[in-house]
Amino acid sequence: ELKVEQNPLFLSMQEGKNYTIYCNYSTTSDRLYWYRQDPGKSLESLFVLLSNGAVKQEGRLMASLDTKARLSTLHITAAVHDLSATYFCAVAPHTGTASKLTFGTGTRLQVTL
Amino acid sequence: EPEVTQTPSHQVTQMGQEVILRCVPISNHLYFYWYRQILGQKVEFLVSFYNNEISEKSEIFDDQFSVERPDGSNFTLKIRSTKLEDSAMYFCASRGQVGLLNTEAFFGQGTRLTVV
């Protein structure tokens, strides 16, 4: 059974600081996704990572994938309050099928002034 | 921009009652999903649907649950006899256009189900 773990579960950081959220998964996968969720809201797609060494950046967020280590990171640069949300990684183990996403536990990010 | 829409946004039901949660996936997508999220917890897979049949279902998706795509646009989740522990946010998702199978899943805004 695929297991997806994130750490930390909760992260409080000051505006302007940098930090990294880690996502480890237990079996081979070639598709990893990052989603953002605001309280009571839906899941907003941030990044799709499809190959080993993939790196994607959008604004202050950068995601990377190391399929050999079964690890993805979401790096936050110079955090701002608007980034406060819960971030989930999700893994799909198979390509080209209707396969489900297995979500991580989520990291609740709180950016303080 | 195309989006997945769900109705209702919030449903309160009595234990033992049947509920139907409705979703309109993005029109040219091929794969459809239901997930649920109990308050404060992670998102859990319930069922996937492709080519008018269930592709995969989780242990949560027992005989009380069913899905249907009755008219080629709506995708519904029925819970036959709700239990208190069914209270959760239910998300519908769709993905996968022909030739673009590795795209991400797009999620609806969710239906908050409260069983009392």
Contact B87, B14 (CB under 8 A): no
Residue B102 pLDDT exceeds 70? no
When mean pLDDT is compared across A23-37, A46-60, A87-101, the lowest value belongs to: A87-101
Residue A112 pLDDT exceeds 90? yes
Contact A98 B106 (CB under 8 A): no
pLDDT for the residue A45: 92
What's the alpha-carbon Rg for chain A, to the nearest Å?
14
Contact A45 B110 (CB under 8 A): no
E runs forming strands in chain B? 5-7, 10-13, 19-24, 31-37, 43-50, 53-57, 65-68, 75-79, 88-95, 106-107, 111-115
pLDDT for the residue B100: 60
Residue A91 pLDDT exceeds 60? yes
| Residue (of A99, A41, A35, A96) closest to A63 by Cα position | A35
Residue B59 pLDDT exceeds 80? yes
Report the pLDDT averaged over residues A12-27: 94
Contact A100, B55 (CB under 8 A): no
Q: Nearest by CB to A98, which of B56, B104, B107?
A: B56
Number of CB pairs, chain A paired with chain B, less than 8 A apart:
59
Q: Nearest by CB to B43, which of A40, A88, A95?
A: A88
Kindly report the nearest CA distance between residue B15 and chain A, in angstroms: 23
Contact B48, B54 (CB under 8 A): yes
Q: Nearest by CB to A48, which of B48, B104, B107?
A: B104
The answer to whether residue B50 neighbours chain A at the CB level (below 8 Å) is: yes
